[in-house]
Amino acid sequence: MFEKIATAQYIVLIAHINPDADSLGAASAMYTHLMRLEKKVTLFCMTERVDSRLQFLPWFDKLRHTFPKSADLAMSFDCGAYKRLGTEVACPLINIDHHKSNEHYGEINVIDITAISTTQVLFDLFNQENIKINPKMATALYAGLLDDSHGFLAPKTDARSFKMAETLSRAKADIYESAEALFHKNSLAALRLKGLMFAQMQLHLDARVVVHLVSREMMEKSGAREVDCEAALEESTGLPHVEVALMLRENRNGKIKGSLRCSGAHDVEKLAALHGGGGHQHAAGFEVENENLEALSEKLITAIQKEI
Ligand SMILES: [Mn+2]
């Protein structure tokens, strides 16, 4: 992989559509490394309205939304499926990821499904190559670790996660700013949406399944952004007895976005895959067309019932 980088002149770093701190953090850390190598680099993401909480990431202001035709190498970060790139990529592509469902669409695929975040895959690669991690890179790598481990609460959190956090802390990652941005700061709109979501939350199958249906009206009434919904979903998994949490949201494009969370031995990735989606065992998502919230919710509750 690093030989490929050495011979490339113009490299595009791709964060997935609706990027999170892991995807954009990994791309940001690589951006710093490539700038040091004096490469021409573009930080690319198809989504134009990127979650503003991610503004603390180094090079956030360098994000571009048009894929440069003249690039001779592309690298994707945290994109399990080719369609998550949001664009066609004609040049050679290096695919760096940690999703079990990764489609291996790259010319080179560096997939470590034991890693808690894509930034952990990249952290290991940097270490193997003795690449020095400066404070900017440390913050970007830490952000992905913190977000994908849900603040070191996810089941996959282990000694390797804390070892990486320690190394990045020593490398002067901005730990406080990452925590503030990703887990503490909240907009009024997001809090209002949460209120609406919890007021209308449904419990099914002896309260083992929690369902949130988020209409366009709720989004507009609260003024919240699509990304704000996930926080309420996460929180509802903390209820005693809840094993699976489902959220269905009407998107601006008329499609319905589904998000699933679960605990224990359950696997929501399988459920998401039934609807063309993907993710991880305990957190997965999908998007469907020509459905309505209630009917889709009933179908999913039946599917969940079979799994739990
Ligand atoms: Mn990830």
- Which residue among 184, 212, 245 closes a domain? 184
pTM: 0.85
Residues β-bridged to residue 256 = 250, 288
- Which residue among 135, 164, 184 closes a domain? 184
Residue 240: CATH number of its domain: 3.10.310.30
295 and 235 in one domain? yes
The pLDDT score that the predictor gives to residue 190 is 93
84 and 45 in one domain? yes
- CB neighbour burial string for 48-84, b if at least 16 within 10 angstroms, e if fewer: eebbebbebbbbeeebeeebeeebebbbbbbbbbbeb
The pLDDT score that the predictor gives to residue 228 is 86
Q: Calculate how far, in angstroms, residue 144's C-alpha sits from the geometric centre of ligand 1.
A: 7
Q: Which two structure tokens, joined as six digits, stand for 265?
A: 């031995």
29 and 106 in one domain? yes
91 and 147 in one domain? yes
Q: Calculate how far, in angstroms, residue 35's C-alpha sits from the geometric centre of ligand 1.
A: 24
The pLDDT score that the predictor gives to residue 227 is 80
* Rounded CA separation 300/292 (Å): 12
- Which residue among 149, 184, 219 closes a domain? 184
Report how many domains make up the chain. Answer: 2
The pLDDT score that the predictor gives to residue 201 is 97
Q: Calculate how far, in angstroms, residue 269's C-alpha sits from the geometric centre of ligand 1.
A: 14
The pLDDT score that the predictor gives to residue 263 is 86
225 and 158 in one domain? no
- pLDDT per residue as tens digits for the range 28-69: 999 999 999 999 999 999 999 898 899 999 999 999 999 999
Q: Calculate how far, in angstroms, residue 22's C-alpha sits from the geometric centre of ligand 1.
A: 5
Q: Calculate how far, in angstroms, residue 210's C-alpha sits from the geometric centre of ligand 1.
A: 24
The pLDDT score that the predictor gives to residue 52 is 87
Residue 23: CATH number of its domain: 3.90.1640.10
Q: Calculate how far, in angstroms, residue 21's C-alpha sits from the geometric centre of ligand 1.
A: 8
The Cβ-side half-sphere exposure at 288, using a 13 Å CA radius, reads 20
Contacts of 53 (CB under 8 A, 6+ apart): 21, 181, 182, 185, 227
255 and 167 in one domain? no
Residues β-bridged to residue 13 = 43, 75
Regions of the chain short of the pLDDT cut 50: none
Q: Which domain holds residue 268?
A: 188-307
175 and 87 in one domain? yes
299 and 279 in one domain? yes
Q: Calculate how far, in angstroms, residue 37's C-alpha sits from the geometric centre of ligand 1.
A: 26
Q: Calculate how far, in angstroms, residue 272's C-alpha sits from the geometric centre of ligand 1.
A: 16
The pLDDT score that the predictor gives to residue 98 is 97
Q: Calculate how far, in angstroms, residue 98's C-alpha sits from the geometric centre of ligand 1.
A: 7
291 and 192 in one domain? yes
The pLDDT score that the predictor gives to residue 145 is 98
The pLDDT score that the predictor gives to residue 295 is 95
The pLDDT score that the predictor gives to residue 155 is 86
Q: Calculate how far, in angstroms, residue 117's C-alpha sits from the geometric centre of ligand 1.
A: 5
202 and 165 in one domain? no
Q: Which two structure tokens, joined as six digits, stand for 303?
A: 């599917």
215 and 167 in one domain? no
Q: 286 exposed, middle or buried (CB, 10 Å; 0-12, 13-18, 19+)?
A: buried
Amino acid at 108: I
219 and 120 in one domain? no
